[in-house]
Amino acid sequence: MHLHPLSPAIVVAALVLAGGAFGARGGPDDDAELAARFSRTVLTGSLDERREALAALVSLADPGQAEVLEAEFARVSIKLRGARDAAFRARYALDRQRELLARMELNAGRDSTLEEYLAPQRERVGELVEELAEQRAIVGDLDPWYDSLGEGAGSFFASLPSGKRKKIEGALWDTLEDEAVELTERLAALEMLGCGGSEGTAVSLQKLIADICAESGKLKRKLPRLMVDVRKFEARLQREQEQLGGKISAALMEQYQRAKREASDMQRRVTHLSFLSDAAVAAGARGLAREEGKVQERSVTALLRAQKKGHNGARQRILAMLGGTADEGIRARLRGMIEGEEEASARAAMIDALAAAGDGGLAELLLGGGALTDESWHVRARAAAALARLRSRVAVGVLIERLEAEGGRVRTDIQAALRSLTGEDFGANVELWRRWFAERGGDFVVPPLGELEERASEEALGSVGMTFFGIQSDSRRVLFVLDLSGSMEFSMVPRKNPEDDPGKPYDMPRKGEISRLTAAKRAIVKSLGGVEDGSVFNIIFYASDVWTWNDDLVVMDPETRSEAMRFCESLEAVGATNIYGALKVALEQAGAAGGDEWSEPKIDTIFFLSDGRATVGLSTDADETLAFVRERNATAGIVIHTIGLSGAQDAYLLRSLAEQNGGSYTSR
C-alpha cells in the first residue's frame, strides 16, 4: 500500500479552516459540532474536504474524539478490504469469462444453433466489467483516504497526554483480543495500532504474533484426531456415489456435515488467527518505521532476539515485519544476516521480505554472495525469484550461467526469472540464451513487471521436457493431483450450459468432442512420458474422497511409467469436489510440514487440476483453503501449478493458488 500522508500545506489549510468552514475552536459544544461535521463530511465530501475535516479534528487533541476517528478508520478499513477482495475476484472472473466467451463464439461459428447461447455470456461479461469498474472506483476513492486517516491517527495519538493515549490504545487492544468481536473489526483495530500506537508497539505486536502462532499450533495438533471421522465419511460418500450413479442420500450428507462441524470450526479459527497474525506483521512494520533513534534500535534488537526463538510460523512473520519496514538501516541489518543464517527457511524468508519491499541493496548481495549457489534449493529458487521481482538487469548474465549448472525445479525457476527480465523465452537452452545475450546484452531493456511480451523461439520449444496442459517443468520431484468428480464426464466444448448449472441439461460430449476426463487422461499420460527416469512422483485423485495411485512416492523407470499410464487410462469420474482434502493430502505426501524450519520436502512441484468449485471437504471456502496452503507451504517452497477446466471452475481459487505458491495458472 502506498502512503499518502497529510502534507504540511493540507494541515495548515485545515487548521485555518478549523477556524472557518469547520468553526473556530471553542468550548465543548463547538468541539462536538466539529466532530459531527467531520462525520458528515467523510461520507459526502471530496478527498480534499475529508482531509481538511480530519486535520481539523486532529487539531482538537481531544481524547473524547478518539471514538469518532476510530469509527471512521474501522469503516474505511472494512469497506476497503472488501472492495479490494471483490475487485480481485471480479478481475479473475472477467478474464475467465472472456476466455470462455471467445471459445463459445468459435464453436458457434461452426454450429449456428449455439448462437442463442452467446447472449447470456456476453451479458455476463458486461456485468463483470461494471462490477470490476465499481470496485476499482471504491478502492481508488478509499485508498488515499485510508492512508490519510492512518497518518492523522498517528498525529492524533502523538498529541495526547501519555495516560490518555495508553487508555485509548488499551481499548484497541481489548477489541483486538476479544474473540466475540467480528474479525474485520479486530483487523481494523490492529491497523490503527500500527498507525498510532506508542513506542514499542512493534514489539508488543511481535508478542501478539507469538501468542497467536502458539494458539494456532495447538489447534493444528488437535485437528488430525477430528479428521479421522471426517475422512471416513468422505470415503462413504464416494462409495455411495459410485453405487448410486453420482447421488448422495440426504441422511448420509447430514451425518457427514455433523461429523465435520467441529473440525471445520477449528480450521476456521486457525484461518482467522492466520489473518490476524499477517495483519499484525503489516501493523508492526508500520509502527516500527515511525520509531526513531535509540527507541527504534531497542525495538529492532528485541525483534531480532525474538525471531530466533519463534515457533509455529512466528519467526517467518517477525522477519517479514522487519523486512517490510520502510527503513534502510533495518533492511541493511537484515541483508547482513542472510549469509550467516544457518536455517534455510530463514534465509529464504529474509530474501522474500526484502524483495517484496523493493530493497535495492538485495540484488547486489544476491549476485555477489552465495544465495544463488546455496546448499538449499529453496534458497536458490527464492534468490532467482527475487532478482526477477527487483527487475535486476545485471542479473541476466549471471542467471544464464546458473541455468547451465542447475537441474530440476530450480532450472525451471531460473528460466522463469530470465523470461520475466528479458521478455524472451529460450527455455533451458543455455547456448541460445548466451547467443542472445552476446548480441543484445548491452542494449536490452527490462520490461515492466506485468507487461511482458514473451517470445518463445522454435528452437526453444523443441527442447521442452515435461509439460501438463502447456505448463512446463524440469522438476524431478513432482505430484499430479487430478479431479475425478462427476462433472469431469462433461464435454470440453462449452455449449448450452458452460457453468454446469444443475438446473439445466449438462453439455455432454458430442461426436468429435472429448470429455474433460479424456482431456485430463491424455494430458497426464503425455506428462508421464516426459518425467525423467530416476524422478520421484505420484498421482493423487479426488472427488468426494481423496486417494493416491501409490501409497508412497515412486521412482520413475520404464516399467513404472507404463503401469502409471495404464492406470490413468482406466480412470472414471464420479463424486463431488473435495479441493481442500486433495491439497491437504498432496502437501502431506510432499513433505510440507509448516512451522519455521525448512522441511526439505520430498516433492518440489505440484500440478493441481480442477473443473469446478469445492462442494465437500473440511472447508469449501476459497480464502480458507488458500490460507491453509500458505501456512503449510510457507517454509517448504513447493511450487503449485493449477489447471482449470470448464466455465464452472473456481478461477479465483485456482489463479490465487498458483500466484501465492510460485506457480502458473492455465484454463481450458
pTM of the model: 0.91
Residue 116 per-residue DSSP state: G
User: What mean pLDDT comes out for the span 571-595?
Assistant: 96
pLDDT at residue 462 is higher than 60: no
Residue 294 per-residue DSSP state: H
Cβ neighbourhood burial of 99 (10 Å; 0-12, 13-18, 19+):
middle
Residues whose CB is less than 8 angstroms from the CB of residue 623 and which lie 6 or more positions away in sequence, other chains included: 271
The pLDDT-based confidence of 606 (bands split at 50, 70, 90) is: very high
Average pLDDT of the chain? 91
What pLDDT, on a 0 to 100 scale, did the predictor assign at position 10?
32
Contact in structure between 658 and 641 (CB atoms under 8 Å): yes
The CATH homologous superfamily of the domain defined by 467-667: von Willebrand factor, type A domain (3.40.50.410)
Per DSSP, the residues of 245-288 read: TT---HHHHHHHHHHHHHHHHHHHHHHHHHHHHHHHHHHHHHHH
First-residue to last-residue Cα distance in the chain: 34
Cell numbers given for 63: 481524547
What pLDDT, on a 0 to 100 scale, did the predictor assign at position 450?
63
pLDDT at residue 485 is higher than 80: yes
Cell numbers given for 465: 521436457
Contact in structure between 578 and 542 (CB atoms under 8 Å): yes
The pLDDT-based confidence of 585 (bands split at 50, 70, 90) is: very high
Task: Kindly provide the residue ranges of all beta strands, DSSP E only, lying in 430-535, ordered along the sequence.
Answer: 455-456, 466-468, 471-473, 477-483
131-181 confidence digits (pLDDT tens): 999 999 999 999 999 999 999 999 999 999 999 999 999 999 999 999 999
H or E segment to which residue 81 belongs: helix 66-110
The two most distant CA atoms of the chain are separated, in Å, by 89
C-alpha distances out from residue 652 to 90, 275, 353, Å: 9, 18, 25
Contact in structure between 543 and 573 (CB atoms under 8 Å): yes
pLDDT at residue 409 is higher than 90: yes
Buried b / exposed e over 42-72, threshold 16 CB at 10 Å, is: beebeeeebbbbbbbbbbbebbebbebbbeb
Lowest mean pLDDT among 95-104, 329-338, 355-364, 456-465: 456-465
Contact in structure between 531 and 523 (CB atoms under 8 Å): no
Contact in structure between 306 and 275 (CB atoms under 8 Å): no
% of the chain with per-residue pLDDT over 70: 93
The pLDDT-based confidence of 114 (bands split at 50, 70, 90) is: confident
pLDDT at residue 307 is higher than 80: yes
What pLDDT, on a 0 to 100 scale, did the predictor assign at position 110?
86
311-320 confidence digits (pLDDT tens): 999 999 999 9
Q: Is 214 helix (H, G, I), strand (E, B) or coil?
A: helix
How many Cβ atoms sit within 10 Å of the Cβ of residue 541?
21
Q: Is 169 helix (H, G, I), strand (E, B) or coil?
A: helix
What pLDDT, on a 0 to 100 scale, did the predictor assign at position 451?
59
User: What mean pLDDT comes out for the span 414-436?
Assistant: 94
What pLDDT, on a 0 to 100 scale, did the predictor assign at position 13?
32
What pLDDT, on a 0 to 100 scale, did the predictor assign at position 30?
67
Q: What are the structural domain ranges in the chain?
A: 8-191, 467-667
Cα dihedral 448, 383, 85, 156 in deg (nearest 10): -90
607-638 confidence digits (pLDDT tens): 999 999 999 999 999 999 999 999 999 999 99
Buried b / exposed e over 242-254, threshold 16 CB at 10 Å, is: eeeebebeeeeee
Query: How far apart (Å, rounded) are the C-alpha atoms in residues 565 and 525?
Result: 5
Q: Taking Cα atoms as reference points, which of 292, 81, 73 lies closest to residue 192? A: 73
